[in-house]
Structure 1
Amino acid sequence: MAKLTGIEIYKHLPKTNCGDCNFPTCMAFAMQVAAKKVGLEQCPHVSAEAKAALSEAQAPPMRTVTLGAGDRALKLGGETVLFRHEEKFHHPTVIAIRVRDALSESELVQRIEKINQLQFVRVGQLIGVNAIAVEQTTSDANKFAQAVKLAAEKTPLALVLSSPDPQALKAALDICAERRPLLCAATKENLKEFATLAKEFKSPLAVHAATLEELAELTQQIKALGVEDLVLYPEINGLADGLAKLTQLRRLALEKNFRAVGYPVMVSVTASDPFLETAYATTFVCKYASLVVMDGAERSQLLPILTVRQNIFTDPQVPNAVEAKLYKVGEPGPNSPVLVTTNFALTYFTVEGEVENSRVPAYIAVVDTGGLGVLNAYADDKLTAEAIVKSVKSYGIMDQVAHKKLVIPGLVAVLKGEIEDLGGWEVLVGPEEAAGIPAYLKNEWKA
């Protein structure tokens, strides 16, 4: 958010010190507004002109644009920081896979269904592709409209419609306007026609230009035509050029509060080498694309990109934790092992996955460590013998198994003796790395 000082706000107030805002003076009220402790509307005497001026000044430096509708609506932009550790990134990059209208109907259906399957579960969260970008590569507007119709029927994902022809886009919008697709892309040659379509169908509009200066000029012209929901689409020549332009745009929007580029940014990634395409897309997820359109639709390509996105768009000040409780993997019985781990989500789901891979039913006793992993929790005195014994006893699991054995992570083998003294159980030291769990359970575990 653009930060206004108390003095700047005070200049727009009536300066009567009437007290109707429940503060003794207009200056005191202005200071509270600047600190975001009260809203400007608490003063009943602020003029309409003052409200408009302060509202514009306090508007977010980057507009939030909605792509799609209903439960599948996606938020683009609205970011407030350059670096994640300063606060957090708010709206995860939308990943869209390209389909071209030159494909036959059966090829289109096959590709769309393949894209629909690009969903994964990682550390207990569903991650996946968010959108399909239908691109016109033929000169046949009807063929493009048919491709859009198929996509609208065959996928619940958000849609990006890419065509240089306003008439072809209008025909496509007649089919799927309720899905609120992104129109791609307005240029200096067609901006009036594209702006008219975006305004008529209430769709967000991508704006394409070769230079950042031209991009800023176009956004102002389109905004003057009544279209507010814009997505910047700079021309990119290689990874270095793209990284430089996206960084410049983010800095101009957030540091300089340059409203003409205060919009989310999209990039289109193409590369003959699938590994290179994945590397490009991953880079732009990190810096600073709100939408990445790509060709690759293989699971091996998408999982690394989605994993990076999942990691980047988490709050670094809030640990990613699971509930501390007793979990069952498979159908464990009285002779099944009892393993201990922390409630850091990545640790827990890694351990759970390796236990599943072993095909040995087991119990996992999760200790509340504030979302820290094994070593960090041990160093912070949150994974102690007392904490482990207290948690295991509260779950009552040692009364359910016949062996009275507890498997602790190898990284905290030093706690073995103390846990045995406090709990009265036999403590076994498991592998240091989760990858060693399957072999341990198959070859070393004995009830």
Structure 2
Amino acid sequence: MKLNSPLQVYKYLPKINCGKCGEKTCMAFASRLVDRSKKIEDCQILLQDREKFLQLAELLAPEIREITAGVGDRKVRIGGDDVLHRHQLTFFNPTVLAYDVWDTMEEVALIERVKKISEFKKFYVGDYLKLDMIAVRSTRESAAKFKSCVEKVIGVSTLPVMLCSFDPTVLKAGLEVCADKKPVLYAATKDNWEQVSKLALEYRVPVVLFSEGNLDSLKTLAVTFNRLGINDIILDPGTYPEGAQLKATFENFIKLRRAGIKESQKEIAYPIMAAPITAWMIDNDPTRTSYLEAALASIFMIKYADIMLLHSIEPHALLSEVYTRETMYTDPRTPLKVDAGIYKIGNPTKDSPVIATSNFALTYYTVESDLSSGRIDCYLASVNTDGIGVEAAVAGRQFTAARIKETFDEAGFDFKEKTSHNTIILPGLAARLQGDLEDVMGIKVLIGPVDSNQIPGWMDKNWL
């Protein structure tokens, strides 16, 4: 039974409060183990007692098994969740997005598509959103053709790969050239499970078990593979793209995840795979189908796909998918925030404005983007509001005159030295702080617009 209480975990710890783990006490370390912000390996004393270490590791293991695919910097973790709803703790390991190529593509088109998938990135709230995996599909069931395609893919990309075929001979051909990259095998079925299980054991790679719409058959496959000593398993219950069958697919995902977490059915407590790519089986219109595929991706990210197979790499589809994933896997326990401080936008001089905002990441990067696109050279103060937006922080007294002053003091920013105007611009939603800030800092305070995209126009009319 998984340990969910710091008191339960504490019983297995040394209880000497040595501090080598980075926490002051063993009880504090136990709390960090429960919320998964620390690892058992951080306790050097516990590492010396292998039996107790392994026992605690098993008791703290995620409800849904976590597996890895790929190697190096682009290695991905799949599964590893403990809860059905994000607010109960958080979701770990964002859904792995795998985009397909196929073995009948012309070499130039293949390499171009692989590079687009590998190099895609979108800056969002202080980080780059990227794609995770390339799925190589066998469309002719030719081992030689498939092997050649896999070789070309791994020759130009470091992303993990998924080898897709129901023919074990084809899968083996792919493994012969990329087994050291730890690919995912797709897929074992009731018809080929014996041969595919041998490949998974021989090459020690994760494997997807596929049973279309039949959870009993899927469970039987999982139990069989587990008894063979194969634990790096992903479950694919089939993905129907429309109608009553889509509803049934949605319900199957929920049943699988509930069985793994709420009912502790360890034999099927594995990551789940969705295949929104099936949208392309019912509609040939590329625009309409890519929208449907993106919609399916959003549905199954919410309930409860740990990895998914997709086709469209059009910007409107990719942006929808990576933004949805980022939203779903934001940790609700920790507000997204940037470090408090004074940042230069462009090349500010003594005549440049000084603008204040909160350190909530979405607010900060929105303001920063609007200032940069408006070509406004300035100093931007990120005030420590505990990662809360301006309006809520003003109401909750996280955005106050004292905190604004503290931000400038800690940064060593002297208005008389750095500026010729001794003036700061507050966001419109913080207008009530004007008098307090003038009293506390002894500077002139202007009230800017509510929305940062209005700053360029406001500057033309109101700046010195």
Secondary structure of the structure 2 residue equivalent to 1:323: coil
Work out the percentage of aligned pairs sharing the same amino acid. Answer: 34
Q: Counterparts of 2:156 and 2:248 in 1: how far apart (Å)?
A: 36
Superposition deviation, residue 117 in structure 1: 2.4
Alignment partner for residue 424 of structure 2, among 381, 406, 409? 406
Q: Counterparts of 1:145 and 1:303 in 2: how far apart (Å)?
A: 31
Q: In the alignment, which residue of structure 2 is the partner of 1:242?
A: 249
Alignment of 1:165-244 (within 5 A): 165-210=167-212, 211-238=214-241, 239-244=246-251
Q: In the alignment, which residue of structure 2 is the partner of 1:12?
A: none
Letter in 1 for 2:356: V
1:417 aligns with 2:435: yes
Alignment partner for residue 379 of structure 2, among 363, 380, 383? 363
- Please tell me whether the aligned partners of residues 141 and 167 of structure 2 are also in contact (alpha carbons under 8 angstroms): no
Superposition deviation, residue 360 in structure 1: 1.3
Q: In the alignment, which residue of structure 2 is the partner of 1:372?
A: 388
- Please tell me whether the aligned partners of residues 230 and 263 of structure 1 are also in contact (alpha carbons under 8 angstroms): yes
Q: Counterparts of 2:56 and 2:422 in 1: how far apart (Å)?
A: 67
Alignment partner for residue 92 of structure 2, among 90, 93, 118? 90
Q: Counterparts of 2:231 and 2:331 in 1: how far apart (Å)?
A: 29
- Please tell me whether the aligned partners of residues 192 and 222 of structure 1 are also in contact (alpha carbons under 8 angstroms): no
Larger Rg: 1 or 2? 1
* CA-to-aligned-CA distance 1:364-400 (integer Å, 9 cap, x gap): 0111111111112111111112222332344325121
Q: Counterparts of 1:393 and 1:51 in 2: how far apart (Å)?
A: 47
Change (3 A) 1:176 1:377: same
Secondary structure of the structure 2 residue equivalent to 1:89: coil
- Please tell me whether the aligned partners of residues 75 and 159 of structure 2 are also in contact (alpha carbons under 8 angstroms): no
Superposition deviation, residue 313 in structure 1: 1.4
Q: Counterparts of 2:409 and 2:454 in 1: how far apart (Å)?
A: 26
Superposition deviation, residue 52 in structure 1: 10
- Please tell me whether the aligned partners of residues 354 and 434 of structure 1 are also in contact (alpha carbons under 8 angstroms): yes
* CA-to-aligned-CA distance 1:221-278 (integer Å, 9 cap, x gap): 1122221100001112234233211111110000000112110011111234222211
Letter in 2 for 1:106: V
* CA-to-aligned-CA distance 1:9-57 (integer Å, 9 cap, x gap): xxxxxxxxxxxx99xxxxxxxxxxx999999x99xxxxx9x99999877
Alignment partner for residue 407 of structure 2, among 379, 391, 400? 391
TM-score w.r.t. structure 1 length?
0.87
Q: In the alignment, which residue of structure 2 is the partner of 1:268?
A: 275
Change (3 A) 1:381 1:142: same
Q: Counterparts of 1:389 and 1:61 in 2: how far apart (Å)?
A: 46
Change (3 A) 1:339 1:55: closer
Q: Counterparts of 2:57 and 2:341 in 1: how far apart (Å)?
A: 47
CA RMSD of aligned residues (A): 3.0
Q: In the alignment, which residue of structure 2 is the partner of 1:13?
A: none
Letter in 2 for 1:223: N
Q: In the alignment, which residue of structure 2 is the partner of 1:330?
A: 346
**Structure 2 unmatched runs, 5+:** 9-14, 17-29, 35-39, 284-288
Change (3 A) 1:397 1:99: farther
Which structure's relative contact order is higher, taking Cα pairs within 8 Å and 6+ residues apart? 1
Change (3 A) 1:58 1:354: closer
**Structure 1 unmatched runs, 5+:** 9-20, 23-33, 43-47
Alignment of 1:7-406 (within 5 A): 59-210=61-212, 211-238=214-241, 239-270=246-277, 271=279, 272=283, 273-395=289-411, 396-398=413-415, 399-406=417-424
Q: Counterparts of 1:179 and 1:59 in 2: how far apart (Å)?
A: 25
Q: Counterparts of 1:328 and 1:193 in 2: how far apart (Å)?
A: 60
Change (3 A) 1:275 1:445: farther
Matched pairs, number: 419
Q: Counterparts of 2:184 and 2:147 in 1: how far apart (Å)?
A: 15
Secondary structure of the structure 1 residue equivalent to 2:275: strand
* CA-to-aligned-CA distance 1:297-324 (integer Å, 9 cap, x gap): 1222112221221222122111211110
Secondary structure of the structure 1 residue equivalent to 2:112: helix
Q: Counterparts of 2:320 and 2:3 in 1: how far apart (Å)?
A: 37
Q: In the alignment, which residue of structure 1 is the partner of 2:2?
A: 2
Secondary structure of the structure 2 residue equivalent to 1:139: coil
